[in-house]
């Protein structure tokens, strides 16, 4: 009994600094923002103290904001799906690679993370622009007769987000695939399962926790993407994180910005929780 | 069911030879054990038979079929691994049914065959469990059920008992042998444990450094080992350098021992410790002095020094004598007790 209390006290002491930082750096601003989101915005007067859900009602009822939300969710789902489909074979290959190559391969995956999102997006701008690398190649090969518009499209933003998220997805999947038993795969084949059947019935189900983790990570990152949609999507392409910044920085509309931020967080949380819960139930046996 | 024939099978990894020209004939229904120290190429040989490792040379035949270039999933082989390799996301029943589903067996037949297989390994009623809710011994029995339920042409087991504790290992190896006899399925088991090998095998193939040193029944291997390596791997042995002279082995110090079936050219004599008889001093045999005497309950373990200075380890049953250090006695080595062999071969 007294031992347990001592243990608990030591635990509390260890956790105290982190708790202070989390409360000061995360909880307080969030509470402040929550409060702001219930205020009213009067042009010229900046922010008027109030207790109204008007901002939220506006976000839900205004087709302009609804479209932004739909674009954001669709983008996050698509980019995540692409990341998983592209990332899985890469992660499998790394997991199966001989030990002496593994470090080099992992370094290759991590390398892009050394370059910030904004810098990378700038790189994509060079590659995808009117006079960019891609157009130059397509023109040279005669596939197009005049430069195609890649920049400021949905596809450009999607490619950008995929390139940002892919290393995280590959690393997460690789660490899970690394831990799964190679001999279960051999067992499946000895029992008559072709390589594809083995993948479908053994490799994939065993990797499912990793797929879920990688998918959620990518989804959350994509939902909150800022630099990529701004730089590659241009002024007319709207996603939620940039629109929060736009309300706060450009329109000085803190209440609406705060409400948008909470809506973004809520959508992310609800979708994440739904997916996790559903998968946890279908895989309850494993 | 079918026999297995592997011919000049070899596997090289870069410059390293993991398996170096193995030829083996396993008869239909036979239980053959590949025995050898760790790293001698047993697993690689087994994985070439199963189809997971492509041979650098040689071929594998199962029955009349040359399967050298067949992928594992078309070889109809039952495989049991050291670490069980069950599917953790499937129940015991689904694990066992896995191979039957791949063979498109009907659901009703699957149910009865799975139940039969589980009852063969004494796991009736465990079908709904997940592997992680079972002990190591139970998991290994599920793995065995999963391998035999598909009625494979051959059953391959790679150190199937080495993750189990001593008592369980003893039990499971007994069950394994019983099951193999009941089903009459051609079986190759790999192990580095000579007790295990001796106790289950119809025949043993002793491997060293990627090559088979000797193939034979457990008693042939034990009594008439082909070389020094085999002799010391399957039990304890005394070795003496010397030469063969028309049925007599003459040791370096000049001791002359009659040996039955002594091949000319033999340069080493092997004598098993328990093949030596102990008699009172002065009897017919080799005069010896007891250097150490250890009583083990069931018998004695003696270290003797012979007249020529050689040492002789002896294991003798307890017949009421009390051996003491310094005691003089006679060691009797029957002509059939010694085995001449050529070293450096
Ligand atoms: N994939 C591989 N790459 C390189 N060397 C290997 C590989 N597999 C096995 N070996 C080598 O081949 C030899 C035999 O290995 P193995 O067949 O596993 O022996 P055993 O099962 O008898 O312990 C060992 O020296 C091992 O290091
Ligand atoms: Mg091995």
Q: Measured between alpha carbons, how far is B104 from B193 in angstroms, rounded to an integer? A: 39
Given an 8 Å threshold on Cβ–Cβ distance, is A197 in contact with B102? yes
**Boundary (domain end) residue, out of B228, B246, B264:** B228
Handedness of CA B101, B104, B110, B113 (dihedral sign): negative
pLDDT at A3: 58
Instruction: Note whether B180 and B314 are same-domain residues.
Output: no
Report CA(B42)–ligand 1 centroid distance (Å): 8
Given an 8 Å threshold on Cβ–Cβ distance, is A192 in contact with B89? no
User: If you measure CA to CA, which chain B residue comes closest to A183?
Assistant: B85
Q: Measured between alpha carbons, how far is A189 from B173 in angstroms, rounded to an integer? A: 25
**% chain A with pLDDT above 90:** 51
Section B137-164 average pLDDT = 95
Residue A2 confidence class, pLDDT cut points 50, 70, 90:
low
The two tokens of residue A239 are 């996603």
B40 lines ligand 1 (CB under 6 A): yes
- Chain segment A134-164, per-residue pLDDT in tens: 888 988 888 888 888 888 889 999 999 999 9
Domain count, chain B: 2
Residue B317's domain comprises 236-341
Residue B277 confidence class, pLDDT cut points 50, 70, 90:
very high
- Chain segment B196-232, per-residue pLDDT in tens: 999 999 999 999 999 999 999 999 999 999 999 999 9
B113 lines ligand 1 (CB under 6 A): no
CB-CB contact of B212 with B205 (8 Å)? yes
Q: Within 13 Å of residue B134, how many CA atoms lie on the same side as its CB?
A: 22
Instruction: Note whether B209 and B276 are same-domain residues.
Output: no
Closest-CA residue to B304 (of B281, B322, B325): B325
Atom of ligand 1 nearest to the CA of B53: 1
Instruction: Note whether B276 and B208 are same-domain residues.
Output: no
Q: Measured between alpha carbons, how far is B286 from B13 in angstroms, rounded to an integer? A: 51
Least confident of A40-49, B79-88, B143-152, B287-296: A40-49
Handedness of CA B196, B201, B203, B207 (dihedral sign): negative
- Chain segment A176-200, per-residue pLDDT in tens: 999 887 899 999 999 999 999 999 9
- Which residue puts its alpha carbon closest to atom 10 of ligand 1? B18
Question: How crowded is residue B166: how many other Cβ atoms within 10 Å of its Cβ?
Answer: 8
Q: Measured between alpha carbons, how far is B175 from B191 in angstroms, rounded to an integer? A: 16
Bridge-based pairing of strands B77-80 and B154-158 is: parallel
Q: Measured between alpha carbons, how far is A200 from A184 in angstroms, rounded to an integer? A: 13
Instruction: Note whether B74 and B218 are same-domain residues.
Output: yes
Least confident of A244-248, B46-50, B157-161: A244-248
Residue B344 confidence class, pLDDT cut points 50, 70, 90:
low
Domain boundaries, chain A: 53-285
Distance (Å) from the C-alpha of residue A200 to the closest C-alpha of chain B? Answer: 13
Given an 8 Å threshold on Cβ–Cβ distance, is B73 in contact with A184? no
Q: Measured between alpha carbons, how far is B81 from B161 in angstroms, rounded to an integer? A: 9
Instruction: Note whether B172 and B313 are same-domain residues.
Output: no
B69 touches chain A (CB under 8 A): no
Which residues, listed in sequence order, are joined to residue B59 by a DSSP beta bridge? Answer: B7
B10 lines ligand 1 (CB under 6 A): no
Instruction: Note whether B8 and B150 are same-domain residues.
Output: yes
Section A74-86 average pLDDT = 97
Instruction: Note whether B209 and B257 are same-domain residues.
Output: no
pLDDT, mean over chain B: 94
Among A180, A184, A191, most B C-beta atoms within 10 A, so best to mutate, is A191
Q: What is the pTM of this model?
A: 0.84
- Chain segment A112-126, per-residue pLDDT in tens: 888 888 888 888 888
**Boundary (domain end) residue, out of B209, B228, B247:** B228
Report CA(B191)–ligand 2 centroid distance (Å): 8
pLDDT above 60: residue A171:
yes
Instruction: Note whether B283 and B151 are same-domain residues.
Output: no
pLDDT at A127: 86
Q: Measured between alpha carbons, how far is B80 from B148 in angstroms, rounded to an integer? A: 10
Report CA(B54)–ligand 1 centroid distance (Å): 13
pLDDT at B1: 62
**% chain B with pLDDT above 70:** 99
B49 touches chain A (CB under 8 A): no
State the burial class of residue B276 (Cβ atoms within 10 Å of its Cβ: 0-12, 13-18, 19+): buried
Instruction: Note whether B158 and B306 are same-domain residues.
Output: no
B192 lines ligand 1 (CB under 6 A): no
State the burial class of residue A170 (Cβ atoms within 10 Å of its Cβ: 0-12, 13-18, 19+): buried
Report CA(B158)–ligand 2 centroid distance (Å): 7
DSSP string for chain A: -HHHHHHHHHHHHHHHHHHHHHIIIIIHHHHHHHHHHTSEEETTTEEE-----HHHHHHHH-HHHHHHHHHHHHHHHHHHHHHHHHHHHHHHHHHHS-HHHHHHHHHHHHGGGGS-HHHHHHHHHHHHSTTSHHHHHHHHHTS-SS----TTSHHHHHHHHHHHHHHHHHHHHHHHHHHS-HHHHHHHHHTT--HHHHIIIIIHHHHHHHHHHHHHHHHHHHHT--HHHHHHHTTT---HHHHHHIIIIIS--HHHHHHHHHHHHHHHHHHHHHHHHHHHHHTTT-
pLDDT at A285: 47
CATH number at residue B150: 3.40.50.300
pLDDT at A283: 64
pLDDT above 50: residue B60:
yes
Q: Measured between alpha carbons, how far is A231 from A126 in angstroms, rounded to an integer? A: 11
Instruction: Note whether B168 and B113 are same-domain residues.
Output: yes
Instruction: Note whether B216 and B180 are same-domain residues.
Output: yes
- Which residue puts its alpha carbon closest to atom 11 of ligand 1? B18
**Boundary (domain end) residue, out of B170, B195, B228:** B228
pLDDT at A128: 86
Residue A25 confidence class, pLDDT cut points 50, 70, 90:
confident
**% chain B with pLDDT above 90:** 86
CB-CB contact of B340 with B266 (8 Å)? yes
User: Which positions in chain A touch B99 (Cβ < 8 Å)?
Assistant: 191-192
pLDDT at B184: 95
The two tokens of residue B152 are 């494979």
Section B91-95 average pLDDT = 97
Class at the top of the CATH hierarchy for domain A53-285? mainly alpha
Contact residues of A toward B, CB < 8 A: 181, 183-184, 186-195, 197-198, 201-202, 205-206, 283, 285-286
ipTM over the 0.90 cut-off = no
Atom of ligand 1 nearest to the CA of B40: 22
pLDDT above 70: residue A1:
no
Given an 8 Å threshold on Cβ–Cβ distance, is B130 in contact with A206? no
Section A57-82 average pLDDT = 94
The two tokens of residue B23 are 């030829």
Instruction: Note whether B22 and B126 are same-domain residues.
Output: yes
Which residue would you say has higher pLDDT here, B132 or A23? B132
């Amino acid at each position: 009994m007294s031992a347990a209390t001592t243990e608990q006290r030591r635990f509390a002491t260890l956790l105290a600094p982190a708790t202070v930082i989390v409360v000061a750096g995360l909880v307080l601003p969030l509470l402040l923002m929550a409060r702001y989101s219930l205020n009213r915005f009067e042009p010229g007067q900046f922010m008027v103290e109030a207790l109204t859900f008007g901002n939220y009602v506006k976000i839900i009822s205004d087709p302009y904001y609804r479209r932004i939300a739909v674009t954001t969710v669709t983008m996050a789902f698509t980019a995540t799906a692409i990341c998983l489909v592209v990332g899985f074979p890469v992660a499998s290959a790394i997991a199966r690679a001989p030990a002496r190559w593994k470090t080099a391969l992992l370094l290759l995956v991590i390398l892009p993370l050394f370059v910030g999102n904004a810098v990378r997006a700038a790189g994509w701008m060079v590659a995808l622009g009117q006079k960019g690398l891609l157009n130059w190649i397509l023109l040279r090969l005669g596939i197009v007769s005049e430069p195609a518009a890649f920049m400021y499209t949905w596809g450009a933003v999607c490619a950008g987000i995929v390139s940002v998220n892919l290393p995280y997805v590959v690393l997460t999947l690789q660490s899970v695939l690394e831990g799964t038993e190679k001999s279960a795969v051999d067992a499946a084949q000895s029992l008559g399962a072709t390589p594809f059947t083995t993948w479908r019935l053994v490799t994939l189900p065993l990797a499912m926790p990793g797929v879920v983790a990688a998918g959620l990570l990518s989804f959350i990152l994509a939902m909150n993407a800022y630099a990529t949609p701004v730089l590659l999507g241009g002024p007319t392409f709207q996603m939620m994180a940039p629109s929060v910044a736009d309300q706060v920085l450009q329109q000085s509309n803190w209440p609406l910005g705060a409400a948008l931020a909470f809506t973004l967080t809520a959508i992310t949380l609800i979708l994440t929780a739904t997916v996790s819960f559903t998968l946890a139930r279908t895989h309850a046996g494993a | 069911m079918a026999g297995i024939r592997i011919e000049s099978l070899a596997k090289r990894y870069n410059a390293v030879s993991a398996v170096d020209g193995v030829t083996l004939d396993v008869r239909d229904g036979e239980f053959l054990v590949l025995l050898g120290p760790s790293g001698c190429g047993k697993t690689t040989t087994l994985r070439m038979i199963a189809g997971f490792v492509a041979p650098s040379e040689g071929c594998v035949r199962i029955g009349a079929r040359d399967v050298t270039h067949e992928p594992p999933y078309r070889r109809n082989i039952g495989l049991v691994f050291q670490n069980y390799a069950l599917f953790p996301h499937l129940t015991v029943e689904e694990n066992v049914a896995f191979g039957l589903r791949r063979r498109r067996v009907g659901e009703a037949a699957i149910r009865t065959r799975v139940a039969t297989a589980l009852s063969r390994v004494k796991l009736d009623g465990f079908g709904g469990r997940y592997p992680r809710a079972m002990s190591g011994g139970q998991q290994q029995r599920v793995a065995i059920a999963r391998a035999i339920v598909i009625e494979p042409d051959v059953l391959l087991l790679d150190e199937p008992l080495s993750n189990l504790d001593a008592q369980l290992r003893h039990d499971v190896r007994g069950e394994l042998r019983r099951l193999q006899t009941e089903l009459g399925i051609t079986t190759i088991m790999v192990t580095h444990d000579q007790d295990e090998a001796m106790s289950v095998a119809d025949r043993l193939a002793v491997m060293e450094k990627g090559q088979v040193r000797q193939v034979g029944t457990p008693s042939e291997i034990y009594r008439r080992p082909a070389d020094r390596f085999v002799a010391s791997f399957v039990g304890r042995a005394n070795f003496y350098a010397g030469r063969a002279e028309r049925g007599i082995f003459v040791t370096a110090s000049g001791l002359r021992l009659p040996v039955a079936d002594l091949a000319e050219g033999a340069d080493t004599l092997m004598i098993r410790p328990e093949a030596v008889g102990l008699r009172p001093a002065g009897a017919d045999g080799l005069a010896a002095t007891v250097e150490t005497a250890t009583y083990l309950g069931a018998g004695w373990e003696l270290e003797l020094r012979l007249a020529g200075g050689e040492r002789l380890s002896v294991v003798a049953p307890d017949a009421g004598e009390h051996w003491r250090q310094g005691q003089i006695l006679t060691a009797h080595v029957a002509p059939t007790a010694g085995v001449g062999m050529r070293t450096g071969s």
